[in-house]
């Protein structure tokens, strides 16, 4: 009887430890930070945390735990700017940012083509929004509509990056194929063709105030490459 009691106690202890292990892991992940459009959710989990930071011998900037050491197709000058941004914003991840920028590029173009001012207001700063809104108003006044389609984004590259307190800013060059058609008030095609996509090169700058509680980046400048 004594042996049976001991065995049962051992089994109960083992099951208790297993249960504590599962609940403990779950509790570690119950509180999640607020994520923005440009964040990578996987980067906030303990399982995918980047390796511990290392001192850089050629730069005074020390990488912190929330920053990766590699950058997508970055020149030395751009990489230095990305380091500055990561030092100012501990949640910054260049790869996640690039994914978010490509998604934002598509969303902004489609909102502009569809005349969706409300969507643009959430994605652009005031100056860029007003520029888009004026173009939409002029188009509507002329009775014209767009039937544009983003066929593909061929290439994206960071061409500038930096931190000018309290703002961080990254400029990206997008090379894409766009099928564009403009119709008049009667529905007649007056420009473009959906059968022939044209190459477009856009240089857009995204910015964020690192002292703000809003985690999202905003489009704050546009240009053609």
Q: Tell me, what CATH number does 149's domain have?
A: 3.10.450.240
Measured between alpha carbons, how far is 205 from 223 in angstroms, rounded to an integer?
9
Let me know if residue 28 belongs to a domain.
Answer: no
pLDDT in tens, the chain (225 residues): 544 443 444 444 433 333 333 333 333 333 344 456 666 544 444 344 344 344 333 333 333 334 444 566 678 999 999 999 999 998 899 999 999 999 999 999 999 999 999 999 999 999 999 999 999 999 999 999 999 999 999 999 999 999 999 999 999 999 999 999 999 999 999 999 888 899 999 999 999 999 998 889 999 999 987
Let me know if residue 18 belongs to a domain.
Answer: no
Let me know if residue 16 belongs to a domain.
Answer: no
- Number of domains, the chain: 1
């Amino acid at each position: 009887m004594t042996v049976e009691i001991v065995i049962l106690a051992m089994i109960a202890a083992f099951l208790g430890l297993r249960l504590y292990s599962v609940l403990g892991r779950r509790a570690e992940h119950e509180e999640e930070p607020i994520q923005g459009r440009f964040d990578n959710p996987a980067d906030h989990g303990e399982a995918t945390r980047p390796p511990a930071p290392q001192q850089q011998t050629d730069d005074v900037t020390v990488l912190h735990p929330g920053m990766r050491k590699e950058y997508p197709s970055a020149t030395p000058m751009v990489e230095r700017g990305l380091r500055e941004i990561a030092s100012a914003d501990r949640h910054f991840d260049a790869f996640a940012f690039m994914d978010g920028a490509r998604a934002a590029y598509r969303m902004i173009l489609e909102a502009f083509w569809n005349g969706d001012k409300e969507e643009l207001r959430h994605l652009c700063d005031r100056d860029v929004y007003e520029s888009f809104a004026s173009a939409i108003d002029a188009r509507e006044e002329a009775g014209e509509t767009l039937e544009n389609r983003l066929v593909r984004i061929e290439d994206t590259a960071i061409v500038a990056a930096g931190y000018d307190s309290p703002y961080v800013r990254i400029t990206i060059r997008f090379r894409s194929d766009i099928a564009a058609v403009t119709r008049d008030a009667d529905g007649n095609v007056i420009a473009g063709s959906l059968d022939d996509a044209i190459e477009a090169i856009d240089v857009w700058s995204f910015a964020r105030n690192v002292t703000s509680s809003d985690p999202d980046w905003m489009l704050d400048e546009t240009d053609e490459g």
